[in-house]
Chain A
Amino acid sequence: MNVAVLIKQTPDTAELPKVTVAEAESGELQATMVINPWDEFAVEEAIDLSDRFGCETVAISLGRQGEVDALKHALAMGVDGAVHVDESVIDGGDEWATAEALAAAVKKAAGGEDVELVLAGKMSVDGNSGVIYAGVACKLGWDLLVNVTRIVDIVDGTLIAEQVFEGGQETVQVPLPVVISVAKEINEPRYPSFMGIRKASRAAIPTLGRDDLDVGPSHTTRWTDLNKPEPEDVQVRIFEGASVEEKAAQLADALMAERVI
């Protein structure tokens, strides 16, 4: 079975506070670019599935020409292969265009062999849309599972997984192929090994362009403005009282007055 894992290259979260609005608008970020932290959980799960079920794994990332740091990181962690999709394919398009390009890449990624499972992180730390994997599932015409916390088994063309939702958890069974977004509870991503780093640094990563992929005209929902919200004016209230109970009662009254509880 072939497993594709979708990853994105995003600014290092340790450096996010330094990213200016102008940089974000232009896309010319000065920050160190790394694999989107949410995607590391998907990469780890792909490698784990490879160990458990003998899957072949490939990481796919859409980005500018030469932006392969995240793919190299996935290779260093242990995925078998990597494919870069040139951002020019979507011609400045939106999430729907990105999903279409990635879905087309999934069909091409495993050297012509069918991919039966696509894994993705729940969102990116820069765009935060959390919709790309849903679009990929839609474009591929596959089922979609979100917030998966455990892949229990894959047997006879069926995948059994646990997923969480607000207020509960459920175990579901879906036929392959399927797209899955993973929650952070699913695993603990490994650090790349030195052997993996050597392999990754020597790997040649193929790039797919518009001529390689079956994609239609681009969709162009665009950001028309981007700004940081003004910091809220926060007021601090200290509740005085003779006892903890008295202070807690005052706090509860205040929270109810503000309709917090």
Chain B
Amino acid sequence: MASATELLYTEEHNLVRKMAYDFTRNEVMPIIAEHDRKHTFPFELLPKMAQLGFLGICLPARYGGAGMDFLSLGIVSEALEYGDSSVRETVAVHLALHALPIFQWGTEEQKETFLPGLASGDQIACFGLTEPGAGSDVASLQSRAVRQGEEYVLTGEKMWITLADVADRFLVFAKTQPDQGARGISAFILERGWKGLTTGTLEGKMGVRASNTGWINMQDVRVPAGHRLGEEGEGFKIAMSCLDNARFGVAAGSVGIIRACIDESVKYALQRRTFGKPIAEHQLVQQMIAHMQQDLDIGELLVWKAGTLKNQGVRNTRETSMAKWFCTEAARRAADNAVQVHGAYGYSDEYNVERHLRNTKSAVIYEGTSQIHTLMQAAYTLSMREDRPLRCPMPAYDPDTWQ
């Protein structure tokens, strides 16, 4: 009998779901707790994810992608984060924050040049927007790009960059017109090995310890003009559209965390006995599990709604923001409750739930803090914010031309 979730999706999606969850259970979950303990990046997963097409899942086949739709990206994100946030983050950063922006904003030559290597995983890519002094306030970023003939010279530093020390390609944002605020920002594709480009890893993270988080330093890095993505001054719009892609994966991944918390809590609650009966029969334990299920049901629908709009090529900044805001907060609640259900054992890394709790704290900060999303939603509802048409909207999913 098909579950309610399966009925929401097509048969193709459900086959993707089975495949992605099998991958997570067989390949990710047996190794990820140890990587988390040691703060090491699971390099061994990259070729496996590349071979299955995860790294280019929703890119058209003509650019080397798997030609699947945005809902499939959500399903894979959910399944990977069921195992651990760090693995889902790799897909989100590589694909949603680097490859998809090139697909959306790049020239045909840039798409043909850059996308096949990204889809195949031959090159791993990241996204450099945040700086030591510029996070949510993107317009205040300090990196500079000065045009000199057919090149730009980039100087500056990026901070809290996922995959910084792993990536071969970097989509970075710098000001070409410093006096223009957000309108003075441009986007550039940099390559590892270029003179003046160095990276490093940040230590001491609370969560997502199996992911690589680091910094990018640019000291007079010479970038060919052909590596500028979009027009000069279009960087802020590009960055915001990138977030529409990545926030969707974050939201879907958070649904995976909630599902993992439910599965682990139900299993534990049925086995663990106190006062002569399984703790699943205690009403306050039931309350915590019921809240997790409530959040899962809502989160699934929000992700499905945002993904469906993406498939149709409809602007979805508000819906994706809502999904990210709700799902990340819901995942944090679910992980907190899951640790509580497990009691003292949940506080130990013997069980996965404490790792999920640490991981979920990062997701309510990155890709727009919960406070930013609160303000965004208020602004939409109060008609104080309106999404204007983009010069390069993300194309609608078209199975005939994408496959």
Within 8 A of B (CB), among A34-58: 34
How many angstroms between the C-alpha atoms of A34 and B22 in the bound complex?
A: 11
Indicate if A14 sits at the interface (CB-CB under 8 A): yes
Query: Which stretch of B98-106, B241-249, B262-270, B284-292 is in the interface?
Result: B262-270
Interface-facing stretch out of A110-118, A131-139, A163-171, A188-196: A188-196
Do A73 and B18 form a contact, CB below 8 Å, given A17-B267, A18-B266, A194-B57?
yes
Q: By the criterion CB–CB under 8 Å, are A198 and B25 in contact?
A: no
The answer to whether B23 and A198 touch across the interface, beta carbons within 8 angstroms, is: no
Instruction: Sort chain A's interface into a size bin.
Output: 20 to 34
Q: Which of B5-13, B38-46, B182-190, B345-353 contacts A (4 or more CB under 8 A)?
A: B5-13
Tell me which residues across on chain A come within 8 A of B14, comparing CB atoms: 69
- Which residues of B in the span 56-79 have a Cβ within 8 Å of any Cβ on A? 57, 66-68, 72
Q: What's the Cα separation between A78 and B128 when bound, in Å?
A: 40
**Residue of A with least CB distance to B21:** A14
A72 touches B11 (CB 8 A): yes
* From B16, B19, B72, B263, contact of A14 by CB (8 A): B263
Whether the Cβ atoms of A201 and B10 lie closer than 8 Å is yes
**Is A33's CB within 8 Å of the partner chain B?**
yes
Number of A-B contacts (CB under 8 A): 50
For the complex, what is the distance from the CA of A76 to the CA of B15, rounded to whole Å?
8
Give chain A interface residues in 187-216, CB to chain B under 8 Å: 191-195, 197-198, 200-201
**A200 and B52 contacting across the interface, CB-CB below 8 Å:** no
A18, A30, A192, A198: the one within 8 Å of B19 (CB): A192
Q: Knowing A14-B263, A32-B3, A33-B1 are in contact, say whether A191-B15 is a contact too (CB < 8 A).
A: no
In the complex, are the beta carbons of A197 and B1 less than 8 A apart? no
| A192 contact from B10, B15, B25, B403, Cβ within 8 A | B15
Most B CB within 10 A of own CB, among A17, A191, A195 = A191
Q: Which residues of A contact B57 (CB under 8 A)?
A: 194
B1 touches A76 (CB 8 A): no
Chain A residues, Cβ within 8 Å of B53: 193-194
- Across the interface, A197 reaches (CB within 8 A) one of B16, B22, B23, B25, namely B16
**Is A191 a contact partner of B11 (Cβ separation < 8 A)?**
no
Q: Once the chains are docked, how many angstroms separate the CA of A142 from the CA of B250?
A: 54
Which of B19, B67, B263, B270 has the most C-beta atoms of chain A within 10 angstroms of its own C-beta?
B19
What 9 A-B pairs have minimum CB-CB distances, sorted nearest first? A201-B12, A194-B66, A197-B15, A201-B11, A192-B19, A194-B53, A191-B19, A76-B15, A194-B68
15 examples of A-B residue contacts, CB within 8 angstroms: A14-B25, A28-B1, A29-B1, A33-B1, A72-B11, A72-B15, A73-B15, A191-B19, A191-B52, A192-B18, A194-B16, A194-B67, A194-B72, A198-B12, A201-B15
Expressed in whole angstroms, the Cα–Cα distance for A193 and B52 within the complex equals 6
Tell whether A197 pairs with B19 under 8 Å between CB atoms, given A29-B1, A33-B1: yes
What is the bound-complex CA distance between A34 and B18, given in angstroms?
8
Q: Which of A14, A32, A193, A197 has the most CB of B within 10 A?
A: A197
Distance, CA A73 to CA B22, complexed state (A): 12
- Knowing A73-B15, A76-B19, A191-B19, say if A198 contacts B403 (CB, 8 Å): yes
Nearest residue, chain B, Cβ from A77: B19
Nearest Cβ in chain A — how far from B220, in angstroms? 42
Complex interface: chain A residues within 8 A of B68 (CB): 194
Residues of B within 8 A of A197 (CB): 12, 15-16, 19
Considering only CB atoms, which chain A residue lies closest to B5 in the complex?
Answer: A32
With A69-B14, A201-B10 already in contact, 17 other A-B pairs whose C-beta atoms are closer than 8 Å:
A14-B263, A28-B1, A29-B1, A30-B3, A32-B3, A33-B1, A72-B15, A73-B18, A76-B15, A76-B19, A191-B23, A191-B52, A193-B52, A193-B53, A194-B53, A194-B66, A197-B15
Closest beta carbon of chain B to A149's beta carbon, Å: 20
Chain A 65-84 near chain B by CB (<8 Å), digits 1 or 0: 00001001100100000000
CA distance A198 to B270 in the complex (A): 39
Q: How far is the CA of A167 from the CA of B14 in the complex (A)?
A: 42
Contacts of B10 in A (CB 8 A): 201
Q: Hey, which chain A residues are within 8 Å of B11, CB to CB? A: 72, 201
B234 to nearest A CB, angstroms?
A: 32
> Complex Cα distance A72/B11, Å?
9
Q: Which residue of A lies closest to B56 (CB)?
A: A194
In the complex, what residues of A have CB within 8 A of residue B19's CB? 76, 191-192, 197
Which residues of chain B have C-beta atoms less than 8 A from A73's C-beta? 15, 18
| Bound CA span A40–B1, Å | 21
**Shortest Cβ distance from A99 into chain B, in angstroms?**
26
Interchain nearest-CB distance for B326 vs A (Å): 25
A195, B16: Cα distance in complex, Å:
11
The distance from the CB of B30 to the nearest CB of chain A, in whole angstroms, is: 14
By beta carbon, the residue of chain B nearest A196 is B15
Contacts of B270 in A (CB 8 A): 17
Which of B12, B25, B72 lies at the interface centre, i.e. has the most chain A CB atoms within 10 A of its CB?
B12
Which chain B residues border A198 with CB–CB below 8 Å? 12, 67, 403
